[in-house]
Chain A
């Protein structure tokens, strides 16, 4: 018989197998999830969750699909959090310091409490990447925030009202489009295709008989 633990979903007690994640434990208890459940693999940020262990004061954060249940866990899911997303035209913005000041001026109100970093289920240095954004250091902000799944837990704990994930995606898009080095071999190939330079080789392979195609496939050279 599997060991059971007592957990509290929104304050109500359920006895569930200890091996389960919070998400699976909710389903075990009988919830048919609609909100608060997405990829179930830690990539989509749909299942941001807060919990506290009975008798302890620390408020913890996690993804319900990744966190195993434990005895005395009081769980509140956060299936939606009102992040502020500013609208911009990626073709017109430029990677200057001013753009953050225009779109997300609240980042300059950061009081340095680091609650965002402590809340991140991806263990990102959230406050640090906001500091990079403040200084217009978008390459560093992009790299430091790269694993962000936009669950919003950081913002739920922020006394300055910062929407960290939205700041981060702006920084990453600015980096990807304007700062990262341009890829010449990619642009060359796109131009070749547009000029029809690959039409003959494509037609050649597509017009071969199935037997010829099979022979070609089975004997093709493979890059080391």
Chain B
């Protein structure tokens, strides 16, 4: 049994007492105006003091969070004069930077298309947010659903800001992404007759969330990793890309690499480059905890920006409504949205439901922050405060055994600390989860500004607009990973790389000094620093 405080135990009793009543009386959905109001007042994206204006680079004049500005306008890790580009250590057709779901999908697809492809990753292949996605992957493949319906849900959920050509690709190629994964052997939850078991996610109008229990991302990622290894695609691990290399015509032509353990510098030359470096949760924007993996430090954005690529919606982040707020050992860890898909409600310290369970993530997170900061209805926790997620409702609604069968990872995560989520509700608070913005690309995956530079996965901006629906990220790493792999391997057949250069790094340095910018940071950051501060 977990050692809750007396105040927490008293509040938990109120949650139990109101459970029966809440089972039959669902909280009303919010109107469009109510949503706008709570977002403006409580969503972290609207806190102006957290932002600053970029002084250099392609997005000069636009606002981003301080932590990102420091890195985008940071110092390079290299002195270009000391880098010898004349004898590359690797010379490949397609260089994929990042070993998560997007990078692996791109590599497998490029390899199938006959390209000589190599993956470079600063940790191991599979150390990625892809591995941690629990809830599922969307695709409109049921008779009552359609790509157009999926488009409407995602476009509206992203506040009508998505780049239409990207979102169109996402929803139209979704069913084929599921087919591709199934063909590789991914075990989706199915009925005995082969029908996909699908649920709602926040903001969906059809039940189109496909899952592999609550190990959806892990099942997809380990399968893709196995396929990369079966194909003999070289994976250079514990090696970070620290600058993009261009040729004298200004086209992307490789990357400067650095061994994470020995510091050795290596040069990779390539006809096309795919950035698939993922997100930025480990920058802990605005002091938030994060659900992200250890390497999520926006490296790809920094590499691309310094090379001259522009960013889209870099100012908008997703704070997942339900990060673990207690126990402190797992503070910020993701509690999958599937918990709410299966019926668990959000409840304040008085035992009152305060929001419909499946509003979009930004709206739901904002109502939780409002409940705690604006209304004083939060429960005090070790690290701050939180509200209850009433998990026992799941087995009441779905029948005994539902939790064990559908969300085993959640049961295990809390079970390790003596919390049985079948019997007790859990405490949650929003956690930094997803980078909505990223590098601006066209529908072929190529950056808008730099030829032969492709992007896939969370490093892309604009697919989802200013908020992403659950299940559309696992989808985008597959759709846009395959997309980048396809076009990058096609394009490399006609590319002739000219002399290599890092002159863009020198030019960026000059721009920084001309503007008098010195953030004191070296970038890309590569890893967070969690060492004790007073050492």
Residues of A within 8 A of B (CB): 19-21, 24, 27-35, 37-44, 46, 66-68, 85, 87-90, 122-123, 142, 146-147, 149-150, 169, 172-177, 180-187, 189-190, 193-194, 198, 201-202, 204-206, 210, 213-214, 216-218, 220-223
Complex: A147 Cα to B149 Cα, angstroms: 33
Q: Is B376 an interface residue (CB 8 A)?
A: no
Residues of A within 8 A of B306 (CB): none
Give the 6 A-B CB pairs with smallest separation, nearest first.
Answer: A173-B185, A217-B156, A181-B194, A176-B185, A177-B185, A38-B127
Interfacial chain A residues near B190, Cβ < 8 Å = 180-181, 183
Contact between chains at A180 and B187 (CB < 8 Å): yes
The verdict on B313 contacting chain A, using a C-beta distance below 8 Å, is no
Residues of B near A85 (CB, < 8 A) are 226, 229
A184–B155 Cα distance when bound, in Å, is 28
CB distance from B240 to the nearest CB of A (A): 10
**When chains A and B are docked, how far (Å) is the Cα of A175 from the Cα of B182?**
10
What would be 22 A-B contacts, judged by CB atoms less than 8 Å apart? A19-B382, A20-B329, A27-B532, A38-B294, A40-B333, A43-B218, A87-B230, A88-B230, A90-B184, A142-B187, A146-B212, A172-B223, A180-B182, A180-B188, A183-B196, A198-B146, A202-B147, A202-B168, A205-B152, A210-B160, A220-B156, A220-B205
Nearest B residue to A87 via CB reads: B230
- The CA-CA distance from A221 to B413 in the complex, in Å, is 36
| Contact of B141 with A42 in the complex, beta carbons under 8 Å | no
Give the shortest distance, in Å, between B358 (CB) and chain A (any CB).
9
Q: B185, A34: Cβ atoms under 8 Å?
A: no
- Cβ of A181 and Cβ of B193 under 8 Å apart? yes
Closest to A223 in B: B206
Chain B residues near A177 (CB-CB < 8 A): 182-185
With A29-B532, A44-B127, A90-B227 in contact, do A204 and B148 touch (Cβ < 8 Å)? yes
Chain B residues, CB < 8 A from A213: 152, 155-156, 160
Interface centre among B176, B188, B238, B329 (most CB of A within 10 A): B329
Which listed residue, A39, A184, A206, touches B151 by the CB 8 Å rule? A206
Among residues of B, the one whose C-beta sits closest to the C-beta of A178 is B185
> How does the 8 Å CB contact mask read for B501-520 relative to A, with 1 for contact and 0 for none?
00000000000000000000
Given A68-B329, A90-B184, A175-B187, A222 and B230 contact (CB-CB distance below 8 Å): no
How near does chain B come to A202, taking the closest CB pair, in angstroms? Answer: 5
Q: Is the CB of A46 within 8 A of B230?
A: no
Complex alpha-carbon distance, A194 and B330, angstroms:
45
A223 close to B176 (CB less than 8 A): no
B218: chain A residues within 8 A (beta carbon): 43-44, 149
B232 adjacent to chain A (CB < 8 Å): yes
Contacts A174-B185, A176-B223, A223-B206 aside, 14 further interface pairs with beta carbons under 8 A come to: A34-B260, A42-B412, A43-B217, A90-B230, A146-B187, A146-B215, A173-B223, A181-B192, A181-B193, A186-B182, A206-B168, A218-B156, A222-B205, A223-B205
A201:B160 contact, CB within 8 angstroms? no
Would B329 and A190 count as touching, CB distance under 8 A? Answer: no
Kindly state the separation between the CA atoms of A177 and B180 in the bound complex, as whole angstroms.
10
Question: Bound complex: CA of A74 vs CA of B413, how far in Å?
Answer: 23
Set A30, A46, A90, A184: member contacting B532, Cβ < 8 A: A30
Determine how close the nearest CB of chain B comes to the CB of A44; give it in whole angstroms: 5
Given the interface pairs A32-B531, A90-B184, A180-B190, the reply to whether A42 lies near B148 with Cβ below 8 Å is no
* CB <8 Å contact, A27 and B530: yes
Instruction: Report B-chain residues with C-beta under 8 Å of the C-beta of A180.
Output: 182, 187-188, 190, 194
A198 touches B222 (CB 8 A): no
Partner of A201, one of B146, B155, B207: B146
